[in-house]
Amino acid sequence: MVLFDLPVTTKAERKVATQFRQFLLHDGYYMMQYSCYCRICGSYEMAEKHERRLQAHVPEKGSVRTLLVTEKQFMRMKILVGNYVPNERRMQSEQLLLF
């Protein structure tokens, strides 16, 4: 899971933030909420690989954090207000088919 808060005051900052979000999407992440992106990794080694890729594309300004959660922990997440986004629904149905 990638959580970030990037400056978007100037046109140049907005461009950097957009490029970072585009990198996340092209690297297989999906947006759970604005500034919160997730990606499924099949193993801890794969998660480390994507974290290294992420570090290579982190903007110079702002705050970017990662959080590694297991499938079981992720599935226990509760939505207090709102609904699952389409990618989450698909992911959950795929998870159920795998087990």
Is the pLDDT at 99 greater than 50, yes or no? no
Name the residue range of residue 27's domain.
Answer: 2-70
Distance between CA atoms of residues 92 and 89, nearest Å: 5
Q: How many domains in the chain?
A: 1
Residue 40: phi and psi, rounded to 5, are -85, 130
Q: Assess if residue 90 is contained within a domain.
A: no
For residue range 74-92, list pLDDT tens digits in order: 888 888 888 777 766 555 5
The strand order across the sheet containing 63-66 reads: 30-33, 36-38, 2-5, 63-66
Q: Assess if residue 95 is contained within a domain.
A: no
Q: Which residue has the higher pLDDT, 41 or 95?
A: 41
Q: Assess if residue 93 is contained within a domain.
A: no
For residue range 18-46, list pLDDT tens digits in order: 999 999 999 999 998 899 999 988 889 99
Which pTM was predicted?
0.80
Q: Assess if residue 97 is contained within a domain.
A: no
Q: Assess if residue 80 is contained within a domain.
A: no
Q: Assess if residue 99 is contained within a domain.
A: no
Is the pLDDT at 96 greater than 60, yes or no? no
